[in-house]
Amino acid sequence: MRKLNERGAAATEFALLLPVFLMILFGIIEFGMIMYGREVVTNAAREGARAGIVQGPPKRTSGQITTIANSYLTGTGINQADVTFTPAGVGLANPNTLTVTAVYNYRFLIPYIPNVLGISNPLVITTQAVMRHE
C-alpha cells in the first residue's frame, strides 16, 4: 500500500537542490574562465618581454612592447581594454632584465557570483613576466 503524502517528494527535492547545483556548475565555469584569462594574459606579457629583451639595437620602446603584448590577445576572447601592460627596464642603455607587468580586470559572466562570494567585480588579476638578457 502506497502512502499518498509521498507524491511529489522527488519534484520538491529537485526544486530545492537545483539552485545549489546551478551555482556549483556556474562557479566551475567562472573559475575556469578566470584561470584561462590569467594564463593568456601571462603569456601575452611573456611575449612582450621576450620581444623587448631580444630585439636590438635599437631596443624596442615601451609602446612597441605593449603593442606586441596586446596583439597576442587578438582572437583569445580577452578584451584588450581590460588589460594594462607596464614594461619596466626599457630605455636603459644595456638592460639585463625586462619586466612586463599585466593587470587584468576580469568581468564575471554571471554577475551574482561575486555578490554571493563577497569578491569584487571586476576581479583584478596581476601577473608579471621577467626576461633576462644573457
Q: What residue ranges do the domains of the chain occupy?
A: 8-132
**Hunting for cell 626599457 — which residue is that?**
90
Q: Pull the grid cell for residue 33.
A: 574562465
Collapsed DSSP state (helix, strand, coil) of residue 83:
strand
For 18-75, what is each residue's pLDDT tens digit? 999 998 998 899 999 999 999 999 999 999 999 888 876 777 888 999 999 999 999 8
Identify the burial level of 19 via C-beta atoms within 10 angstroms of its C-beta, where 0-12 means exposed, 13-18 middle and 19 or more buried. exposed
Q: How big is the chain by its Cα radius of gyration, in Å? A: 23
Confidence (pLDDT) at 133? 77
Please tell me the number of Cα atoms within 13 Å of 49 on its side-chain side. 25
Q: What angle do CA 62, 68, 71 make, to 5 degrees?
A: 135
DSSP-based three-state secondary structure for 131: strand
Would the pTM count as exceeding 0.85?
no
Give CA–CA dist 7/58, Å, rounded. 79
